Structure 1
């Protein structure tokens, strides 16, 4: 099973990050530009939170706040569930299911932010692994 570190190396993603001083509108513009549903929020290169489409719906729209004037630090999620790069994809799926989150920031043992894994990434990798196993079993049976 593929590790998160291997996945990140293969994906070669560029992180969508924003500073705690930014506004919700800044975050939404970045999310639209990068076609992502979450941005990681940093303060002096340290991970401080995550802002997702879910946060926007629940903490901005439903509460009648202005995207232009609301600081991201006011509405970001600060209780973060992170994953170590040495974990495998299945561990991510279990963690996401248990914690009911759709995004996992990848942080090494020194606390350095390495990337992010989404539920879509995890599902795609699990499906690829299953296809591989099915093909191997069919080859084995066919002799």
Structure 2
């Protein structure tokens, strides 16, 4: 059975986004309404400036007691996030998530079109197992090489 790519794996193909002028509070409301764990920050020209995630809200806003209604998303988002192409195999994307400690990867076409966001929740158990096996192999090779 051929492995799915990240674009095939995402159930919702709509992009949840906000402008850079939005507040953290607005972002939290949009994420809650869309039942998603991240929002892309996109300028008026359609260029992705960053991503704001649930983890960002917790570690960069709540833990620092920032005022969510007054804090702009650009102050706490992850700027220029790592993106993947829609053709990337799911297990490769899962490996990136595991190795980098990410939870979300924007999917952007080679033409620059923002297509969605891949999350570990979009992967099937066999795709996760494949990525974990590869990560363990890489660790053992690195250990052997010192």
Fold-level similarity (TM above 0.5) = yes
Q: Distance in 2 between matches of 1:53 and 1:85?
A: 23
- Count of aligned residue pairs for this structure pair: 126
Aligned to 1:17: 17
CA contact (8 A) 1:92 1:122 kept: no
Bigger radius of gyration among the two = 1
- CA offset digits 1:111-132 (Å, max 9, x no partner): 22111111111246737x9xxx
Aligned to 1:70: 71
Aligned to 1:4: 6
Greater RCO (CA < 8 Å, at least 6 residues apart)? 2
In the alignment, structure 2 segments of 5+ residues that lack a partner are 131-146
Equivalent position SS for 1:20? coil
Q: Distance in 2 between matches of 1:57 and 1:32?
A: 14
Aligned to 1:33: 33
Equivalent position SS for 1:65? coil
Shift of 1:79: 4.1
Shift of 1:70: 0.5
Shift of 1:4: 2.0
In the alignment, structure 1 segments of 5+ residues that lack a partner are 130-143
Alpha-carbon RMSD across the aligned residues, in angstroms, is 1.8
